[in-house]
Structure 1
Amino acid sequence: MNSLRRMLDILDLFKPDQPVIDVDAVCTQLGYTSASAYRYIRELSDVGLLVRLPRGYTLGPRIIELDRQMSEYDPLLASSKGIADDLVAQTGLDVLVSELYGSTVINVLQKVGADTDPLNFGRGRPMALFRSATSRVILAYLLPRQLRRIYDANASQPDLQRLGGTWKDFSKAMLQVRKQGFCVSVGELDPGKTGMAAPIFDEKQRILGSITLVGPNQRFEAFNPSFLSGLVTGAARQITTSIAAND
């Protein structure tokens, strides 16, 4: 398992400023030996997750195949698309559906509203864990031991410190989100924009992700806050129910 994890960690090296990697990059950035780096790259290439170019390796066509499979058949996405479309029609706001894996929250679906100014964090982008309603509403529903692990790993981060300088303060802030049932952030990721998110659960009522309304502050202010919170929490419940029914 450790060997598989080490091999898959190579995929994390791909970033906007590093679209191509080579063995030296793997060795330098991950601390692997040359023999291990060559072996992992060969195995990833054999299954289509990497492809060789003159300057090194980039993500392979298998990624596109998996993306298509997820886009068309993933239970969360299948349960969310129609509901997200309805939210856009009712509000004119953007809608994001996001999913948790490990300690990362990533947007897996984006439906664009009336605002022509694109979001800084659309589909396929990891979300800041402590600076967005999208992520905070997920954190609020983690098991205490999971939340404590994330806190301990990020305790020195200014974004986390803003939510609570101590574990007690931070856990209290997360409990408040949980009691409210939704989370709001204003201008934390996109200046002049507000986000309101509600939690989505799997068939065993474990936190799976979130659905978020996002748009200009002025558009948010045109609605009664309780109307919007009712929409987004209702949508989250519908998605949760649909996922459970399709289990």
Structure 2
Amino acid sequence: MSEMNSLERVLALLDVFAEDRLEWTPEELMAELGYSRPTLYRYLKTLKEAGFLASMPTGGFTLGPRVVEMDFLMRKSDRLAQYAQPHLERFAADYPCAALLVRWYGRKQLVVASECMTPGHENEYPRGRPLPIARGATSRAIMAHMTRRRLQAHIEANIEELAGAGLGDTVEEVMGELRRVRRRGYAYSHGDVTRDMTGIASPIFDGGTSPVATFCVTMYTERTTPELIERIGRRICDISAELSAKMAENRLAAGA
């Protein structure tokens, strides 16, 4: 593996912050990342001055206000989220569910928009919270449309988790299940991500051959029936097709 350049090292520093680890001291960062003290402090100074990090009275660092500013700008510029918002609101009004727009990037799935209007229905995945990459309906909807080469590598890297989710014990078994998902047009799963919850998801494209996001609905499993899952699945497929067409139009217009 080639040595990381300075930009990659800065990005790796930001990447250590997670929901279960919100604050890091310089000593902890040096141990985690292997950076020398002068290098680490240079990066910390630059990121703090730019607002990406904030120092705490404890001596540690957390993410800074610049991240909030960039989130504000993303909300105003993310056309997919803007197109999806009315559909999310209607779904949340029509069904006892949480409706989510989930972006796929790199090796992560991230909720970028969500709506829930049902009293007593806790939405555990608000904007900004990542989802597992090998479990749940969103993951299945994405994997079902990967190229074979990329899919095989993804399955091999996550075979234990995929087997635990009931997708199969071998690469070919998982691929067979995902082919059925692709033919159906949507994926569903029960309790893969959150206990007692069912997820239903369909992929969204932007004119390319690989999905960039999914439209997903989650609801308590006890409130579902096979007929309801199919009805919601078909409606989600229609919404995803509409959003995909709009994104493809944007892509063509940008290239004109």
Aligned to 1:171: 175
Equivalent of 1:49 in 44, 47, 52 = 52
For residues 204-215 of structure 1, the aligned pairs below 5 Å read: 204-215=208-219
Distance 1:185 1:170, change over 3 A: same
> How far off its partner does 1:94 sit?
1.3
Higher mean C-alpha deviation, range 49-58 or range 217-226: 217-226
Q: 1:95 aligns with which of 93, 96, 99?
A: 99
Identity rate, percent: 28
Query: What runs of 5+ residues in structure 1 fail to find an aligned partner?
Result: none
Which whole-Å deviations, capped at 9, do the CAs of 1:115-155 have from their partners, x for residues lacking one? 52313333222112222101211121122222223223333
1:31-180 to structure 2, matched below 5 A, reads 31-54=34-57, 55-155=59-159, 157-160=160-163, 162-180=166-184
8 Å contact kept, 2:135–2:192: yes
Which of 195, 201, 212 is 1:191 aligned to?
195
Aligned-partner Cα distance in 2 for 1:6–1:164: 37
User: 1: CA distance between counterparts of 2:250 and 2:86?
Assistant: 15
Cα distance change, pair 65–144 in 1 and its aligned pair in 2 (3 A): same
Residues 1:22 and 2:25 are matched in the alignment = yes
Q: Given that residues 52 and 64 in structure 2 are in contact (C-alpha distance below 8 angstroms), is that contact kept between their aligned partners in structure 1?
A: yes
TM-score (norm 2): 0.87
**Any conservation in 2 of the 1:120–1:189 contact (CA below 8 Å)?**
no
The answer as to 2:16 corresponding to 1:6 is no
Give the alignment's TM-score, normalised by structure 1: 0.90
Offset from partner CA, 1:153-183 (integer Å, 9 cap, x none): 333x344454222222222222221121110
C-alpha contact (below 8 Å) 2:155/2:162 kept by paired residues = no
CA drift at 1:18: 2.6
Higher RCO (C-alpha under 8 Å, 6+ residues apart): 1
